[in-house]
Structure 1
Amino acid sequence: MDLLLPRRCAGCSAPGEHLCPRCRERLRTPPRRISTRVDPHVPVWSFGPYADTHRRVVLAMKERRNLAVRRHLGAVLAAGIAALQARGELIDAPLLVPAPTRPRQARLRGGDPVADVCRASGLPVIRALRHAGRVVDQVGLGVEKRRENLAGAVELERVPGAPVLLVDDVATTGSTLAASSEVLFAAGCTVVGAIVICHA
């Protein structure tokens, strides 16, 4: 099979594995607290900047439909959450809530990549949020346009019955995290924070 469909590392394109040892080591860095341009109303942690290995892995799981790397990122997510709990930054064992994605984008990407990563973590997950139909792709939008695009456009699909941790792939301005946390807070939910694979 490797002759017909050779495996290449999602982080550096080295042949032989879905993620090579060097890229796994880079992704293993514990998450750290970051600030975003839009206040998300909760602490936000990131595994690294949107560059190099992190950027290529996110693009592989989203734009290249690399389903195998989503499983690897699930393990990274679980380890990162355990590190935050060990450091006392996350007290509760929260439900994971994937950030909403547009249904059409999920279909094109072979499923919702963030939800897939959450499920692959082995931690409890709930699909609590969805996008209203009028949301447009946010690539290329500035801070204000992102806020306008998401204003009233994130809807509650179901109410979580426990404290939740928001999960997304990339925090660019914080607009998606802010809109998501606002909807959850309005429903009386406890949001303990948000964690992203990388931040721009």
Structure 2
Amino acid sequence: MINRYLTDLAALFFPKTCAGCDTPLVYGEKLICTSCWYHLPVIPAHDQTANLHTIQTASFFYLMDSSRIQRIIYQLKYNNRPEIGTLLGEKYGSLLRERTPFQEADVIVPVPLHPTKLRKRGYNQSAFFAEGLSHSMQKPTAMQCLVRHRATESQTKKSRYERYENMETAFRLAKAEAIAGKHVLLVDDVLTTGATLEACSTVLLTAGAIQVNAVTIAKAL
């Protein structure tokens, strides 16, 4: 009771706000308010998976301009709130642990950031998403397995082919033993054309992974 009183008192003077709508959170809410959870554009189970050549992918939400999930991902990536990624991973993992082929994964591998961007941001948002998935799905992670050894240009104004070409040689494997002979669940924040996931999966499969599937927080429309 005392802890509840102190929490409420602190919230009165230093209110924590929702990452999706910036309204003050009430007791029992964590990072994202109940209203935002209700209105987030969850991708229906029948539409969650898609094939990207060699890998099957699934995304938690549809990503639309000026939407709550766009604001949440912005907070995760650019406003020093990596814990949002962990929360989203825990929520999504509770669904994926009942779904084939994702429940069959042996290890979870996040898409890495280039060292320059990692130093600037201070953390890899996909790694925190992977941690949340790991907790819910009870699967180990291999955080340093993939390395992004070449900085890539912005993908925003590139064609689909140019995006694939831009990402083709951006990644290499640092720890082959972490994925050799295993089913890998590759993790990223947003799925656009799939160029990043394709490039990473090619490296993983070439190094000995027996299967690679992928999940992301959101899928761009």
Does TM, normalized by the shorter one, top 0.5? yes
Give 1:92 deviation, angstroms: 1.4
User: Is the contact made by 2:20 and 2:32 (CA closer than 8 Å) also made in structure 1?
Assistant: yes
Aligned to 1:41: 54
Q: Which residue does 1:70 correspond to in 2?
A: 85
After superposition, where does 1:1-200 map in structure 2 within 5 Å?
Answer: 1-2=10-11, 5-16=14-25, 17-26=30-39, 29=42, 32-35=47-50, 39-51=52-64, 52-84=67-99, 88-90=100-102, 92-121=104-133, 122=135, 123-127=139-143, 128-159=145-176, 160-161=179-180, 162-200=182-220
Gaps of 5+ in 2: 1-9
Give the match's secondary structure for 2:98.
helix
Rounded Cα–Cα distance in structure 1 between residues aligned with 2:219 and 2:125:
17
Provide closer, same or farther for how the CA distance between residues 131 and 4 of structure 1 changes in structure 2, counting only shifts above 3 A: farther
Q: Which runs of 5+ in 1 are unaligned?
A: none
**Structure 1 stretches of at least 4 aligned residues deviating more than 6 Å after TM superposition:** none
Aligned mates of 1:100, 1:168 — CA distance in 2:
9
Q: For 1:28 and 1:140, locate their aligned partners in 2 and report how far apart those are by CA, in whole Å.
A: 25
Q: Secondary structure at the match of 1:130?
A: strand
Which has the bigger relative contact order, CA under 8 A and spacing at least 6? Answer: 1
Deviations 1:106-148 (A, max 9, x none): 2333311110121233231103211123423434433222212
Comparing 172-181 and 109-118, the one that deviates more: 109-118
Partners of 2:70 and 2:98 in 1: how far apart?
22
Distance in 1 (alpha carbons) for counterparts of 2:105 and 2:93: 11
Q: CA deviation at 1:12?
A: 1.8
| Greater share of residues in helix | 2
Q: How many residue pairs are counted as aligned between the two chains?
A: 195
What TM-score, normalized by structure 2, do the two folds share?
0.77
Computing the radius of gyration over CA atoms, which structure comes out larger, 1 or 2?
Answer: 2
Cα distance, 1:172 vs structure 2: 0.6
Deviation at 1:10, TM superposition (A): 0.9
TM-score, scaled relative to structure 1: 0.84
